[in-house]
Amino acid sequence: MRAASVSDYRELARRRLPNIFFEYIDGGSYAETTLTRNVADIEAIALRQRVMRDMSRLDMSVESLGQKFAMPIGLAPVGMAGMNARRGEVQAARAAAAAGIPFCLSTVSVCPIEEVAAAGTPPWFQLYVLKDRGFMRELLARAKAAGCPVLAFTVDLPTPGSRYRDIRSGFTGSSGLSGALNTAWDGITHPAWMWDVWLRGRPHTLGSVASAVTDSRRVTDYLSWIARNFDRSVTWKDLDWVREVWDGPIVVKGVLDVEDARDAVRAGAQGLIVSNHGGRQLDGVRSSVSALPAIAQAVGSDLEVYMDGGIRSGLDVLKALALGARACFIGRAWAYALGAGGEAKIASLLATLRSELAVAMILTGCANVRDAGAELLDQAD
């Protein structure tokens, strides 16, 4: 099958990946209401078609936090991407660099910060708040030494949401002989993945946190360690502590409420990502795109506002820009492409998104994405 859309990459990933890893990418928390809303609410937004305008020259570039994006898209942090393709985070970083867009590395990546940074352009680094502040300090020092230009400080995971699909697949809660046999059979029945990832993609650890975890044998054991070490006591004062260690731009990821966005401004953040963690945390909350306009209106002049959640096409990107985002970060979309075939598939996906964005710009009369505003939307009753 030749992939033409994000849904096609999803299907290719479903075929190629062991079930436990596909469900980890694809699923959300609880009944997945918010996961569904993220996509449905963007689909419900209508663009306003305009004609007979000179669209011979398009400018998709944006400048943000001292960087130039070739198009207003970045690759969001995705945990354990290295289990979807051999050294997956490295492949994703190379694809992003080739497309001229940022890649944000997850704390729970298979490849360590240093390996990803050495592959090309140093990534943005995403940080979870962990109980061990000493280890966090060490992790931030490593990110800084690797040349990471921006810190994405994730604030919506003081405790992990329950993801029913991961329980059903055996990704979490699976132990003993039956768990081992289930995992082995899942791998054996996906031989392309076995050869690419299981045999050639080692080590299968969470590279950036491996030094802190001494009693784990499987990559899923590392996730259990991370879950036990999330810090429920985190407050905005912790951003002051991070600032003592990190002197670069800080983007707060996981904001859905206007008052929280204002708190991010008061705390000295340089940006925020409107996000509900891809529908993987508190199920039943609003979609990212429905929260975006009020947040952008309230704080957009004080910091950079990005959006993450539900982006499945270049048309979706333009809708988010029209509602106040500087750029969009995609998570599942690139994870599907990586699982479908590595760096080459991510490159193809990004080319598709760019082409779709161009069509949307031309047919809405938007020659420059930096000028995108509410006038691009059809808000008729």
Q: Which residues are catalytic?
A: 277
Rounded to 5°, the CA angle 90-94-99 comes to: 150
- If 0-12 CB within 10 Å is exposed, 13-18 middle and 19+ buried, where does residue 36 land? middle
As a whole number of angstroms, the distance between CA 44 and CA 48 comes to 13
Q: Within the chain, how many helices (H) and strands (E) appear?
A: 16, 10
Q: Is 139 exposed, middle or buried (0-12, 13-18, 19+ CB in 10 A)?
A: buried
For the chain, the straight-line distance linking the first and the last C-alpha, in angstroms and rounded, comes to: 40
Determine contact, residues 27/281, Cβ cutoff 8 Å: no
Please choose, from the candidates 20, 253, 282, 263, the residue with its C-alpha nearest in 3D space to the C-alpha of residue 159: 282
The CB density around residue 63, as the number of other CB atoms within 10 Å, is 10
Helices (H), the chain: 6-16, 19-26, 33-43, 88-99, 113-118, 133-145, 164-169, 176-188, 191-193, 219-229, 237-245, 258-266, 288-299, 314-322, 332-341, 343-364
* Measured torsion, CA atoms of residues 166, 168, 173, 179, in degrees rounded to the nearest 10: -110
Would you call the peptide bond into 158 cis, given omega within 30 degrees of 0 as the criterion?
no
Encode burial over 157-181: b for 16+ CB neighbours within 10 A, e otherwise. beebbebbbbeebbbbebeeeeeee
The Cα–Cα gap between 291 and 155 comes to 16
